[in-house]
Structure 1
Amino acid sequence: MPTPDARLQELESELASLRARMRVLVDGSPLGIFFDDAQDKCVFVNTTFCEMMELSEAEALGDGWARTVHAEDLPGLLRERARAVSEGTALFRAEYRYACPSGRMGWVEEQTRPVHGPDGELLGYVGTLAEITARKNEEALLARHSEELEERVRERTAELSGMNVALEVLLRKREEDREELERAVLANVRRRILPALERLEGACRGEAEPLAAEIRHGLQELTDPFRHRLSTACQDLTPAELRVADLIREGLSTKEIAARLGVGTSTVDTHRHGIRRKLGLDTRRANLRAYLLSLGAS
């Protein structure tokens, strides 16, 4: 039988062989691999870790690895790692930036798990680092494109909103101009054309009478469509407002209307305001009498 010393040498040889094989497997991993002791101090890093962080194994041990974590990310990382240790988290995950001595910068994803012995005692932690710089750059690019698209959408929405407002203003102005033109036409028909036509009819005899009648009929057909639209505006006026409107159309002043109706001038002013509001003139500088005369042409 081998002596105890020989057996010890044999076990040490097997252990060295296992360590060598494990080192080959660990160093061949595309992931950075590290081991921390129970106090969360680094005791081992593989070759990929050293190449990724541009550190030697000796430089990475203990807390040396932290020197390559971006200064803005290190406080949060240490805080989250400490909380995971205190809470016994089964899997700690974090994404953070690194800054190598050469100035090269990037992103890594860390995943760390606790390691327990057969009796449940905490032996330490094993973790991996995965290079995710390309993914983070793509995410940042996508976020910029998304923000640019959203900004273009906001600008276009604002532009369309402004165009809609402008279009509404133009349409409203066009409608007001149309109504103003219709009132002007009706007023001219009442003041000039109809009196002239009446004189013409009085002077016509014989064959000229049908011609005068045809002129009146044609004039009526021309003005009836918008005369009706304007005249319906008075349908909402109260009887008192209608009486005041008739007197305004006759050219009476506020005092004269008050005397005619036996009311105060303030009452007449109230009726005038109500008439203008119901006829849509309260925000426009339109002459009330001229407007009523155009309606009176009907």
Structure 2
Amino acid sequence: MRSVKERSVDSSEMRKDELKQEINRLRRLLDERQKELDSLAKFTRRIADNAPDMIWAKDMDNRYLFANRAICERLLMCSHPEAAIGKKDIYFAECERAKGQRHTFGEICIDSDEVVKTENRAMRFVEDGLVRGQYLVLDVHKAPLLDESGRMIGTVGCGRDITREREIQKDLEESRASQKLLMETASDFAVFRLQINPVRPRGAKVVFLSPSARDIAGITQPQQVDQWFRVHPDDVKALRYAFVKGFTGFKFNQRFRVWRADQARWRWLHIIATAVDQDDGRFANGIMFDITEQVESNEALAAKGRELESRTDSLSEVNTALKVLLKKRDEDRKILEDKVLYNVKSLIRPYLNKLKTSGINSKQNAYLKILESNLDEIVSPLSRALSFDYLGFTPTEIKVASMVKQGRKAKEIADLMGISTRTVEGYRYAIRERLGIKGKKVNLRTYLLSLQ
């Protein structure tokens, strides 16, 4: 039979494999959700560009922040929506006139953008004029463009070409039919439209709710908005605040948990909605997603990130300690090298020089040269980083050695130091002797440079 230790090791490996598989599954889910969000962004842009009406948004200086394909093709006469960004209407009017086109659109109308910004409310206008010689009349709706805090950051508008009312109406009906079919067959999100009673906001009337709301949010009573969700107690306060803010700012964007009785668990929802005032009342158009897997994946990745960060901090501390030890080792090695070299120069070489002149025989002299050569091989690597003053150079010898390293000739050194050329040669001879290269075919400047 297998031992307890073997079974424990197998169990640990299985847990590691299961954890790895779970991490991979969560990453795949996160990638899928990201793709869904990217698809939704592209889908939103596609809706705007396929809409028959002209849709745009401008900043406080009346420069375009957004323009759909319709306004570019029928009014601005630019090649694509991106070409409108950052420009004003007068820019496109002047471009048309420079091409010899008759363009008078907007000249006899009031500045509706300034009116909306002054009134700070949604308004309706009729604007007309010539575009490339053709008369155009637009039924324009404009409103303040507000950020999440309710601060005005520009204007948003849409315009309908009422000179061709019947054609536009037909296109609009087809567009609405295709959009309705799309919303009714949606599976990854749910779309809704509510009619809001300003007096009793909680008593909203359901105009449209896509069938997918049952699978997305567990909604079983579509016509009773107050029965749609059972909100998690920890999210009730934030949801109420978001609802009040959305009612006054016409925008709602909130994440919260709802109880799914059919699944016996809490699920995360993300709802985005925008309110608009129309002639027949106020309406809220929105979309909802189940983001449970995304939230759980983010939490799992965040936990793993904290674990990795903790490990990184530990490794950083170890690296710091190792750097200190390595630095101390290098300092000790340098001290030892300097000490060895100094002892060789001051305690050994002088006696070798005396031994040369002591009248030894040829065999002894050969042994002495071998000893001296081997000693040079030992100390040569250590002497490369040693300074001139540590080698016992006099101040004048240091100056001469420095100028030799710079490539200066003996005559030039003599002129700079105010001494004779013969004296300079004497210093060069002394320097070679101190360096242990006297009588050797070694270039002095090359050897001095090697000491750096």
Q: Give the TM-score, by structure 2 length.
A: 0.35
Bigger helix share: 1
Larger relative contact order (C-alpha < 8 A, sep ≥ 6)? 1
Which has the higher Rg, Structure 1 or Structure 2?
A: 1
Bigger strand share: 2
